[in-house]
Amino acid sequence: MISEKVFIAIDLGAGSGRVIAAKTDLSTIELEEVHRFDNPGTDLPGGSFWNVIGLYREILTGLRRAVEQHGSKIVSIGIDTWGCDFGLVDANGELLGMPHQYRDPRFEGMAEVMHAAMPEAEIYSCTGLKTNFYNSSLHLMAEARKQSPALLHAENLLFVPDLLAYWLTGVQAVERTVASTSQLLDPRTGDWAWEVIDALGLPRKIFGTVVAPGTVLGSIRDEVASFIGQAGIPVVATACHDTASAVAGIPMDGSSLWLSSGTWSIMGVETSEAITSAEAHAYGFCNELGVSDSVRFLKNISGLWLVQECKRQWDLEGDPLGYGEMATLAHQAVPFSAFIDPDDSCFASPGDMPEKIRAFCARSGQLVPHDKGQILRVVTESLALKYRVVYENICKLTGLEFKCLNAGGGGIQNALLSQATADALGIEIVCGPVEATSCGNVITQMIGTGYLPNLEAGRDLIRRSFERSTFTPGDSMAWDDAFARFKTILALS
């Protein structure tokens, strides 16, 4: 039996970050949180920024704690983060300003400018991505239009996980899954979409080497080794986009249909080829890249953001509720009283979400929910029904039929939503693991360092290691009736 090995997963979200130690003897895997920290953005006169240096310091602290606990058992380190955001580095390797947040308002008006230079349909054909406010393309165009000194002097563009890996190793490279969120990568080749880059007037020189997930970048720098107390640890360009890691970390049982459930819900299918048809574009689907040359054909859906914002508002009002209490209230509420479109723009920004939900229901001529449980029930059922819209479009666009949906992420802990999803879609939902992102990060490292032969072996390891739950569909007629009503609400919004 192989002695225990430890792989370090650094998982950064838009609100917090963690350093996870994954302990494994190759028969099972166990995750241990070593260090957790906040990741707040900051508004400055020049825009909204990430404190990426602060993140780096927290990563070093977490790595030092990991070394104190696990020492020579540590095999490698991998970083995953949200997509799109980037730093610009000059010829000396120095960062030119702090990375902006993807919600920074510099994107405003850039879509129109971009589509004047190259029609949206052509961009979609080249990149597989529909234009969204968070795409790197728009933010780079904003920098180009204002003749940003950072862009003028940049030698390399590095996405946030690439930048942090560079600081750990001294090696500059762009990992493919996170690059595929930029709207500047060709999903068919895995290389830059040069025709789009040229059409948008962006400097070619900043778009450097793209590497596959699982690539070993190099060992940590001497200065890093001195700080954390151990030298020679390799850093792997894992599946650096957190959703790519999450999908890799979901065992696919009899179906390639998946759901990453959290603040955002992202539903898609794992395919071997990008789908860039006009119909896919019209439905708002995107093609992002995954592990083992896979394509994540997906659609973003507003997820538990709605529930989180309701909780935040009630906390501010002095009536705090735990998520368990909220689940109980939602379960006790009347079903199918009203519906919202979770992706309506009115829900995109923070601030008094319960009132926004009531206003939407009033505006669409429905019964207005007033108590907390009813509001939460409306949100839960509306999310499940929006999943059905996306699910039916996936079936139509791929020509495939699915017997189950494989779900992972923190959102699967909401049992009412998981059951509602099974009921709405009319198929079985297999949920697990909750820590899909960290699991995917780790198994990609294990593939890159030779401890696993392929992705399927990694998913088998996850399958053996974590409990999963199955939800089977119930009263299809009631949900079919609800879906018909829901579609009329979507038509109004």
Based on the domain organization, do 331 and 213 belong to the same domain? no
Based on the domain organization, do 308 and 344 belong to the same domain? yes
Based on the domain organization, do 229 and 373 belong to the same domain? no
Range of the domain at 144: 5-240
Give residue 348's pLDDT: 84
Q: Which of 180, 140, 82, 130 is nearest to 284 (CA)?
A: 130
Domains in the chain: how many in total?
2
* Model pTM score: 0.95
Based on the domain organization, do 193 and 252 belong to the same domain? no
* pLDDT tens digits along 115-147: 999 999 999 999 999 999 999 999 999 999 999
* pLDDT tens digits along 384-403: 999 999 999 999 999 999 99
362 located within any domain = yes
455 located within any domain = no
Based on the domain organization, do 203 and 286 belong to the same domain? no
66 token code pair: 């990991």
Give residue 180's pLDDT: 98
Measure Cα distances from 367 to 128, 331, 344, 383, 487 in Å: 40, 18, 18, 18, 16
445 located within any domain = no
Based on the domain organization, do 88 and 230 belong to the same domain? yes
Domain closes at, from 218, 240, 262: 240
* pLDDT tens digits along 148-162: 999 999 999 999 999
440 located within any domain = no
Using DSSP's 3-state secondary structure scheme, residue 159 falls into: strand
Based on the domain organization, do 378 and 403 belong to the same domain? yes
116 located within any domain = yes
463 located within any domain = no
pLDDT per residue as tens, the chain (493 positions): 568 999 999 999 988 999 999 999 999 999 999 999 999 888 889 899 999 999 999 999 999 999 999 999 999 999 999 999 999 999 999 999 999 998 888 999 999 999 999 999 999 999 999 999 999 999 999 999 999 999 999 999 999 999 999 999 999 999 999 999 999 999 999 999 999 999 999 999 999 999 999 999 999 999 999 999 999 999 999 999 999 999 999 999 888 999 999 888 999 999 999 999 999 999 999 999 999 999 999 999 999 999 999 999 999 999 999 999 999 999 999 999 999 999 998 998 889 999 999 999 999 999 999 999 999 999 999 999 999 999 999 999 999 999 999 999 999 999 999 999 999 999 999 999 999 999 999 999 999 999 999 999 999 999 999 999 999 999 889 999 999 999 999 998 6
Give residue 43's pLDDT: 87
Domain closes at, from 215, 240, 265: 240
Neighbours of 95 (CB within 10 A): 18
Based on the domain organization, do 52 and 165 belong to the same domain? yes
**Active-site residue 319, yes or no?**
no
Based on the domain organization, do 260 and 396 belong to the same domain? yes
Domain closes at, from 188, 209, 240: 240
Give residue 42's pLDDT: 86
Based on the domain organization, do 288 and 232 belong to the same domain? no
175 located within any domain = yes
53 located within any domain = yes
CA angle 289, 293, 265 (to 5 degrees): 35
Q: CB neighbours of 235 closer than 8 A, spacing ≥ 6?
A: 76, 77, 78, 79, 165, 168, 169, 171, 216, 217, 218, 219, 220
- Catalytic: which of 104, 186, 242, 423? 242
Based on the domain organization, do 35 and 16 belong to the same domain? yes
- CATH number of the domain that residue 342 is part of: 3.30.420.40
Based on the domain organization, do 187 and 251 belong to the same domain? no
Give residue 492's pLDDT: 80
- Between the two ends of the chain, the Cα-to-Cα distance in Å is 59
